[in-house]
């Protein structure tokens, strides 16, 4: 562990025995294929050298805007993709870690019950032709050889856990509202008794009143079932609410990681600051203050990223060095990492500061 931490900078959990998942230098590059012969015309570096730890029982947030690679990280961990490079050490089974990035497809079954995923869209992620029993029970059938009655018991149990009536077991998805469908998706993830749940924008498609219900449900389930979450989202308010620690990504790279309150009160990377500043706040009195940071331009293209620090064309603090030299992710303060040359010199505004100004 010690040596690994030194070489691959990351946010580390307090003690190494607490680590459930260790991601080191993860790379996922997709070829850009053109023409009928499928010749590769370059690479989209969706995830490029990403490292972080997930501690047992914590909720780690992975936040960033579209195209930053946060979803690809999640999908690499459940091995929907075979990563181009890097290590995904899983400490859930036995004493020795298993590198999920290298495990053969045929050997993945054992991990697929341990690491489960919740998806964003409760409408398209459930098969409309399957009753709830089949949707929630399918992983049991695929991963275990289980009798039908045993399966039915497990499915009913999972439905009760997520706050749905077990009688709904024969119904089809169309009979449910968005919030209920998301609960079905959560039941499907939990039915195998997983240790790690990857929630990819799990509440983003829900109405505001239902969103709070599902967030509270996820939080209660984590406590009751000793779950660990990797919570992937673009929504900084939701991340703040549910996460213990947060990893911020920009164009395939980690730019900052920190415990949640540290990140929101004193961001160390200019991108984190701008991201927080862009979130509309429910207070009309704040708008006249004009303290908002507005980013210029657009998110960089991961197939053709800028030189040096990927954020430099949009960064209000950018200097010559940023154009030529890519910053390493390095420790700054307790439990924090940042990838910015000038992190120590900047005094950035957190989300709390803007709010305190009017109180």
Q: Which of residues 116-175 bind another protein (CB under 8 A)?
A: none
User: How would DSSP label each residue in 42-104?
Assistant: EEEEEEEEEEEEEETT-EEEEE--TTSSHHHHHHHHTTSS--SEEEEEE-SSSSS-EETTT--
Handedness of CA 9, 80, 90, 102 (dihedral sign): negative
Smallest separation (angstroms) from another protein to the CB of 151: 28
* Cβ 81 vs Cβ 75: under 8 Å: yes
Nearer to another protein, 153 or 207 (CB): 207
Q: Is 186 in the site for another protein (CB under 8 A)?
A: no
- Considering only 19, 117, 187, 275, the residue that binds another protein (CB under 8 A) is 275
Q: Is the four-CA dihedral 163, 177, 234, 86 of positive or negative sign?
A: positive
Measured distance CA(147)–CA(90) in Å, rounded: 30
Q: Which of residues 78 and 236 has its CB atom nearest to another protein in the complex? A: 236
Question: Of 324 and 356, which has the nearer Cβ to another protein?
Answer: 356
Binding footprint of another protein, residue count (CB under 8 A): 48
Task: Using the minimum distance from each CB to another protein, give the nearer residue, 6 or 174.
Answer: 174
Verify binding: residue 55, another protein, rule CB under 8 A: no
One residue of 3, 223, 224, 285 binding another protein per CB under 8 A: 285
- C-beta of 75 vs 240, nearer to another protein: 240
Burial class (CB in 10 A: 0-12, 13-18, 19+), 27: middle
> Least CB distance from residue 178 to another protein, whole Å?
8
Count the neighbouring beta carbons within 10 Å of the beta carbon of residue 281.
15
Nearest Cα to 109, choosing from 91, 93, 95? 93
Nearest approach in angstroms of CB 73 to another protein is 17
**Per-residue three-class SS string for 292-359:** CCCCCCCCCCCCCCCCCCCCHHHCCCCCHHHHHCCCCCEECCCCCEECCCCCCCCCCCCHHHHHHCCC
User: Cβ(260)–Cβ(350) under 8 Å?
Assistant: no
Residues 207 and 178: beta-carbon distance below 8 Å: yes
207 binds another protein (CB under 8 A): yes
Q: What's the angle, vertex CA 134, arms to CA 220 and CA 193, rounded to 5? A: 35
SS3 category, 275: helix
Which residues pair with residue 44 across a beta bridge?
30
Within residues 230-259, the interface with another protein by CB under 8 A covers 234, 236-238, 240-242
Stretch of residues binding another protein (CB under 8 A), selected from 12-20, 69-77, 84-92, 206-214: 206-214
Among residues 29 and 314, whose Cβ is nearest to another protein? Answer: 314
Question: Taking a C-beta distance cutoff of 8 angstroms, is the pair 258, 63 a contact?
Answer: no
What does the alpha-carbon distance between residue 70 and residue 249 come to, in Å, rounded to a whole number?
A: 7
From the list 57, 131, 166, 178, which residue makes contact with another protein (rule: CB under 8 A)?
178
Helix, strand, coil in percent for the chain, rounding step 5 = 35, 20, 40
Q: Which stretch binds another protein (CB under 8 A): 39-47, 108-116, 208-216, 340-348?
A: 208-216
Counting contacts by CB under 8 A, is residue 347 touching another protein? Answer: no
Shortest spacing between CB 222 and another protein, in angstroms: 13
Rounded to a whole number of angstroms, the minimum distance from the CB of residue 172 to another protein is: 16
Q: Which of 261, 291, 307, 319 binds another protein (CB under 8 A)?
A: 261
Residue whose CB is less far from another protein, 101 or 300:
300
Query: Which is closer to another protein, CB of 114 or CB of 273?
Result: 273
Q: Is 35 in the site for another protein (CB under 8 A)?
A: no
Per CB under 8 A, the list member of 211, 268, 312, 349 interacting with another protein is 211
Where along the sequence are the contacts to another protein (CB under 8 A)? Answer: 65-66, 177-180, 207-213, 215-216, 234, 236-238, 240-242, 260-261, 264, 274-287, 292, 294-295, 298-299, 351-352, 354-355
């Amino acid at each position: 562990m010690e040596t690994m931490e030194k070489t691959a900078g990351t946010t580390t959990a307090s003690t190494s025995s607490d680590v459930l998942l260790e991601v080191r230098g993860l790379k996922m590059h997709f070829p850009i294929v053109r023409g009928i012969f499928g010749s590769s015309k370059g690479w989209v570096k969706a995830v490029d050298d990403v490292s972080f730890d997930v501690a047992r029982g914590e909720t780690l947030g992975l936040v960033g805007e579209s195209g930053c690679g946060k979803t690809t990280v999640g999908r690499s961990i459940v091995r929907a993709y075979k990563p181009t490079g890097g290590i995904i050490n899983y400490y859930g089974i036995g004493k020795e870690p298993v590198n999920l990035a290298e495990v053969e497809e045929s050997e993945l079954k054992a991990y697929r019950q341990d690491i489960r995923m919740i998806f964003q869209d409760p409408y398209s992620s459930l098969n409309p032709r399957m009753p709830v029993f089949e949707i929630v029970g399918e992983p049991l059938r695929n991963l275990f050889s289980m009798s039908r009655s045993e399966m039915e018991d497990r499915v009913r149990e999972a439905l009760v856990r997520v706050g749905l009536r077990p009688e709904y077991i024969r119904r089809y998805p169309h009979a449910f509202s968005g919030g209920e469908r998301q609960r079905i998706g959560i039941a499907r993830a939990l039915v195998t008794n997983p240790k790690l749940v990857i929630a990819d924008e799990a509440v983003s498609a829900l109405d505001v009143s239902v969103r709070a219900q599902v967030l509270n449900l996820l939080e209660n389930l984590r406590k009751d079932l000793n779950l660990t979450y990797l919570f992937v989202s673009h929504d900084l308010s939701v991340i703040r609410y549910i996460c213990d620690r947060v990893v911020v990504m920009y164009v395939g790279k980690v730019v900052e990681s920190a415990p949640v309150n540290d990140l929101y009160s004193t961001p160390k990377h200019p991108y984190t600051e701008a991201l927080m500043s862009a979130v509309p706040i429910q207070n009309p009195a704040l708008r006249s203050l004009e303290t908002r940071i507005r980013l210029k331009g657009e998110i960089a293209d991961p197939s053709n990223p800028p030189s040096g620090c990927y954020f430099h064309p949009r960064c209000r603090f950018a200097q010559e060095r940023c154009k030529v030299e890519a910053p390493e992710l390095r420790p700054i303060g307790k439990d924090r990492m940042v990838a910015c040359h000038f992190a120590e010199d900047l005094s950035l505004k957190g989300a709390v500061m803007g709010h305190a100004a009017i109180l």
